Amino acid sequence: MTRRLDGKIAILIGAALGIGKGIAAKLVAEGAELVVGDRNVEAGLATIKELGLQEDRFFAVDASQEIDLEQLAAIVLGRFGRIDILVQNAGIYPFSLIGDTSVAQWDHVLAVNLRSAFVATRACLAPMKAQNQGRMIFTSSITGPRVVSHGLAAYASAKAGINGFIKAAALEFAAHGITVNGVEPGNILTEGLQSDRSPEFIESMHRSIPMGRLGLPSDIANAVAFLASEEASYITGTTIIVDGGQTLPESKDFLDPATWH
């Protein structure tokens, strides 16, 4: 382990389970002083305990609520005197066809997945500007920016919006030494995927990935840690696709050489 983030103060929003838990473990392993915010208190505290951190490193926050994220940033700044890394990973992906989706449901998905990126950025921006340094990293998705599935219109719209926000923020903050980037996960084997999708569907997803396996939370965490490190100091306004090659084939037929002739 390189401990590339030794002593860096990191805020991770959305870390109780799945990808977020993997990111939390990686940031701690790399030496970051981690503070976690999540609305799932029970799972969040369990993650903190598993990582060997004190309970006061966890805060119950709702990523859709401006005041929650502002208070979290203020607490971290007051305790440590700086904020070096912001990772906004919180997200929801309810399945609902457009015709069945209410305006309230649509607004809620965009609030949790997209508005939270804006609010979290605003909460951490002033201290990062003051120290003329910072890393902002957002969990986007291949769904929206690259591909789409039935029933995920709100989610896809939010994730595509995150990619646009990353570019805009990167341009605005570049003169202050703040980089803004994102990671686009493909299909990652998480508790949520296993509970929301049938084994048959998961196997179908597996077959669509050229590298022959679903991704793991650690695959996303490795990309996040890189973007948070000094190794990525000249990278801003972009995303890293972590999907095992899923978005590469023009069609599923191209995955099977037997169909080429």
- Burial zone of 142 (CB within 10 Å; 0-12 exposed, 13-18 middle, 19+ buried): buried
pLDDT of residue 179: 98
Q: Output DSSP code: residue 247.
A: T
Q: Residue 254: pLDDT above 90?
A: no
Cα within 13 Å of Cα(10), Cβ side: 33
Closest by alpha carbon to 183, among 134, 148, 217?
217
Strand order through the sheet with 9-13: 58-60, 33-38, 9-13, 85-88, 134-139, 178-185, 239-242
CA-CA distance, 215 to 125, in Å (whole number)? 32
Annotation says 155 is catalytic: yes
Please tell me the pTM assigned to this model: 0.92
pLDDT at 2: 75
pLDDT category of residue 207 using cuts at 50, 70 and 90? confident
- The backbone torsions φ and ψ at residue 133, rounded to the nearest 5 degrees and listed phi first, read -170, 145
Q: Other CB atoms closer than 10 Å to residue 168's CB: what's the count?
A: 12
58, 59, 155, 173: which is the annotated catalytic residue?
155
| Contact between 27 and 2 (Cβ < 8 Å) | no
pLDDT digits (tens, 9 = 90+) for 160-193: 999 999 999 999 999 999 999 999 999 888 776 6
Neighbours of 114 (CB within 10 A): 23
**Which residues, 6+ apart, have CB-to-CB distance to 83 below 8 Å?**
9, 11, 73, 76, 77, 124, 127, 128, 134
Residue 192: the pLDDT is 64
Residue 219 has pLDDT above 50, yes or no: yes
For Cα atoms 108, 39, 184, give the angle at the middle one, nearest 5 degrees. 65
CA–CA separation, 54 vs 73, rounded Å? 18
**Residue corresponding to tokens 């700086």:** 82
Rg over CA atoms, the chain: 18
Domains of the chain: 9-243 (3.40.50.720)
Convert the pLDDT of each residue in 6-41 to its tens digit: 999 999 999 989 999 999 999 999 999 999 999 999
pLDDT digits (tens, 9 = 90+) for 63-117: 989 999 999 999 999 999 999 999 999 999 899 999 999 999 999 999 999 999 9
Higher-pLDDT residue of 256 and 243 is 243
CA atoms within 13 A of residue 6's CA, in its CB half-sphere: 4
Residue 234 per-residue DSSP state: T
Please give the single-letter amino acid code of residue 240. I
Q: What is the pLDDT of residue 189?
A: 81
pLDDT above 90 covers a percentage of the chain that reads 82
